[in-house]
Structure 1
């Protein structure tokens, strides 16, 4: 959901259920590295939109020809139109320097935070609430807008709100940006490239 948000407020109890679902996500070493900044304030959302707009202008130039035109046609306005923004962060220091399950892969805290985002997204769908994940920003600009400490990683800005309809397929597929890849092309047997 990127541009079809309705102005209707999302009740506190609904936001509470979404955050509770996120907080019950699995995490490696049970580190629970996430924090959630729930943003409704217009001035803060405007500052976040400015960070997005700067990066989005750069992103447009990374595409060329028809792809650039298709990119420009996408309505990426959820930051301004969704009544709620939720910034999901990851605290790499939550459990100290040595964390069960993160001893050999330092990204496990970020991956665990993504599990929380998926739980939130699934709970939102069950509540009839739309979610859009904004990733087009320079992290330093978003940290400045939200007062996030330097050591904290921003994993997602989620636009959250009611919509007139929930898509049956991902919005980018519906709008022709890209289609779902066939599963049988993505599954290998026993080793990379091995036929199933």
Structure 2
């Protein structure tokens, strides 16, 4: 199986690329078959993307990246958050793809940002973009704020999303049995009754 990772990070090193690499490794680890991973760094394609808009022809590197994305069995797409949305470079890359290139293709969406308050970008910007492109977006999206690195929660989200993508790439359903909740929910009426007995 071929997994293509599209990273829109602009710096070196980049938290966007770090998240992309962790998602790719987790997906390869959860896959039922051997996974070939190819990374597309959009930073390296910025000039060719701009030229494509002005002359209508992709350069060699951009054409190779577009072919890789089109031929992939699954995609991981990661963007930094700029002005409460995906980066312009990220959007421009997907604007130059052929109309049906992502139709039916499993996609894991992810983003990085400076604070957790931008995490909704996954649901109000990325998910609608890939729904429009008719991709099959995995249920779990992954957002990593600066404070998430090294904290609890991020590794679990990465593993859950990776498992969903690996399942879709293998043609399996992402439906899984519900995880047993460790917390017992006490009905509100019982909570009030307990207070009145004190």
TM-score by length of 1: 0.30
| Higher helix proportion | 2
The two structures have a TM-score, normalised by structure 2, of 0.29
Which structure is larger by alpha-carbon Rg, 1 or 2? Answer: 2
More contact order relative to length (CA 8 Å, sep ≥ 6): 1
